[in-house]
Amino acid sequence: MIVRISNGRIATPARVLDGADITVSRGRIVVVDPAGTGRADEAIDLDGGWLLPGFIDSQVNGGGGVLFNDHAHPDAIAAIGAAHAKFGTTAFLPTLISDTPTQIAAALDAVDSAIQRGEPGVVGIHVEGPFINEVKRGIHEAHRIRRLDADTLNLLIAPRRGRVMLTLAPEQCDAEDIRTLTRHGVIVSAGHTDASYDEAKRAIVAGLTGVTHLFNAMSPLHHRAPGMVGAALDSDIWCGLIVDDAHLHPAAVRIAVKAKGIERLMLVTDAMPTVGTEATEFMLQGKKILVRNGVCVFTDGTLAGTHLDMASALRNTVEVTGLSVSDAAVMASTTPAHFLSLASDRGALAPGLRADWVWLDAELRPRRTWIGGEPIDQPILAPARAAH
């Protein structure tokens, strides 16, 4: 199938094109031809908008009215994926907030089943906690927090169909545990941590490769105690950013971009079940969470994930940093693909990769999403988080 893209801009790894014919076979891009002079089977008029590689989100707690912690089932994962696909997300990790060993096992099995039956977009699981530091727990429940034990370690390193990402506090586990996890393919990321600079650097040497949400819920940068933030900025590990005008001051986003570059920064949503719905509240492990002015908060003011979609995260990033749309798209697609070791499969509009893409209008609002070359025929709701 040859798809003719016109009247807009197409972000490819080499350059931004004004138009192209994209040949797709078996769900993958075969050729991106800027000339576009031959026969075409389908035409997409971008109407002044953008065609970008599909977004990849490594932290999705919920969407479409479904919270993964409450529904560790392939059907629930499908519902979450469908909600986020409307906003351009073509690959994601359902994310389990600190929970019991039994629920961790159920979540791992549910993701395996979802991948086996071919649910669009699901590429693995993110287990966020409970091996975190209580002093930086945020909305995570204190009574669930514990150290990583041998039984759970063996559960996490067992062979799986997709990627397994684990967020932990480096100071709360042994370096040997990190080495064991990474040796078996688990992606280890730091979060909800009060690690010192030295503790963080030791974890990086042991195999830690990411920071789940830079700046948030971690030891800050101080000129005599650089902490987890300092170690992240002073290394080449990947870092997630929640760009929703609540989790980060715009200056913090700009500082991160200048320090790390777009190749080591990735946009994440930390999305909650309200994304893709009109709901203004939900329950999280017995606590009522309210959505106020697009921000998810507990009654005491504690941030509780987000009401953010990836298209809005990209739009916000362009606004607060001045980055080009194509550079922001690297942070939403290409960089997370590299972090998850999926760059040979997706993350760019290039031959050999999956035909996953999103059409944004001239205001960078989602119009339509394609996964494996197939359009997601669902009505686009108003973006869950308007640009600030």
pLDDT in tens, 53-62: 999 999 999 9
Give the pLDDT confidence score for residue 384 in this predicted structure: 42
Question: Taking 90 as the threshold, does the pLDDT of residue 273 lie above it?
Answer: yes
* 234 found inside a domain: yes
The owner of tokens 């031809």 is 33
Q: What are the two backbone dihedrals, phi and then psi, of residue 370, each rounded to the nearest 5 degrees?
A: -120, 135
Tell me what the mean pLDDT of segment 191-217 comes to: 98
Q: How confident is the model at residue 34 (pLDDT cuts 50, 70, 90)?
A: very high
pLDDT at 36: 80
**41 and 67 within one domain:** no
Q: Answer yes or no: do 363 and 315 share one domain.
A: no
**In this structure, is residue 78 part of a structural domain?**
yes
Is residue 296 pLDDT above 50, yes or no? yes
List own/partner pairs for 337-340 with CB under 8 A and 24 or more apart. 337/56, 337/91, 338/238, 338/263, 339/58, 339/187, 339/209, 339/210, 339/238, 339/266, 340/56, 340/58, 340/93, 340/123, 340/124, 340/163, 340/165, 340/187
**Do 35 and 103 fall within a single domain?**
no
Residue 358: which CATH number?
Answer: 2.30.40.10
Q: Which residues are annotated as a binding site for substrate?
A: 139, 216-217, 224, 247, 303-305
pLDDT category at 52 given cuts 50, 70, 90 is very high
Nearest Cα neighbor of 306 from 60, 54, 58, 57 is: 60
Same domain, 225 and 86: yes
Alpha-carbon torsion (15, 20, 25, 30), positive or negative: negative
**Same-domain status, 152 and 271:** yes
Q: Are residues 83 and 21 located together in one domain of the fold?
A: no
Residues 47 and 58 in one domain: no
Q: Give 130-173 pLDDT, tens digit per residue.
A: 999 999 998 999 999 999 999 999 999 999 999 999 999 999 99
Residue 255 lies in a domain: yes
CA–chain centroid gap for 328, Å, is: 14
Of 21, 112, 245, 270, the active-site residue reads: 270
Domain span at residue 316 reads 54-339
Mean pLDDT for the chain overall: 95
Residue 14 falls inside a structural domain: yes
The 10s digit of each residue's pLDDT in 249-264 is 999 999 999 999 999 9
Domain of 295, CATH number, reads: 3.20.20.140
- Whether the ω angle into residue 130 lies within 30 degrees of 0, i.e. cis, is yes
Q: Would you state the pLDDT for residue 142?
A: 93
- Closest C-alpha among 372, 117, 363 to residue 380: 363
- Confidence bin at 294 (pLDDT 50/70/90): confident
**pLDDT value of position 378:** 52
Shared domain check, 142 and 19: no
pLDDT at 275: 97
Q: Could you tell me if residue 173 is inside a domain? A: yes
What is the structure's pLDDT at 293? 85
* Residue 361: active-site member: no
Residue 382 banded pLDDT, cuts 50, 70, 90:
very low
**Non-local CB neighbours of 54 within 8 Å, separated by 6+ positions:** 88, 89, 90, 91, 333, 346, 354, 356, 357, 358, 369, 370, 371
Sign of CA dihedral 287, 123, 346, 340: positive
**What's the CA angle centered on 330, arms 241 and 118, to 5 degrees?**
90
Nearest CA-CA partner of 331 in 354, 347, 349, 344: 347
Report how far residue 137's alpha carbon sits from residue 98's, in angstroms, rounded to the nearest whole number.
Answer: 10
Judge whether residue 381 has pLDDT over 90.
Answer: no
What distances in angstroms separate CA 135 from CA 48, 145, 201, 230, 303, one per listed residue? Answer: 48, 11, 20, 19, 15
Same domain, 148 and 12: no
Instruction: Please give the backbone phi and psi of residue 324, each rounded to the nearest 5 degrees, phi first.
Output: -70, 160
Q: Look at residue 380 and tell me whether its pLDDT is greater than 70.
A: no
Q: Which residues are annotated as a binding site?
A: 128, 139, 192, 213, 216-217, 224, 247, 303-305
Same domain (yes/no): 169, 184: yes
The residue-averaged pLDDT of 91-97 equals 98
Q: Say yes or no to pLDDT of 103 above 90.
A: yes
pTM for the model stands at: 0.95
State the pLDDT at residue 348.
Answer: 98
- pLDDT above 90 for 222: yes
Tell me the pLDDT band of 385, cut-offs 50, 70 and 90.
very low
- Domain check: are 140 and 156 in the same one? yes
**174 and 155 assigned to the same domain:** yes
Tally of domains within the chain: 2
Confidence of residue 387 (pLDDT cuts 50, 70, 90): very low
The percent of residues in the chain predicted with pLDDT above 70, rounded, is: 97
Asked if residue 117 is part of any domain, the answer here is: yes
Which phi and psi angles does 249 have, rounded to 5°?
Answer: -70, 145
Query: What percent of the chain clears pLDDT 90, i.e. is strictly above it?
Result: 93
The pLDDT-based confidence of 383 (bands split at 50, 70, 90) is: very low
pLDDT of res. 35: 83
In a domain, residue 346? The reply is no
Asked if the structure places residue 388 within a domain, the reply is no
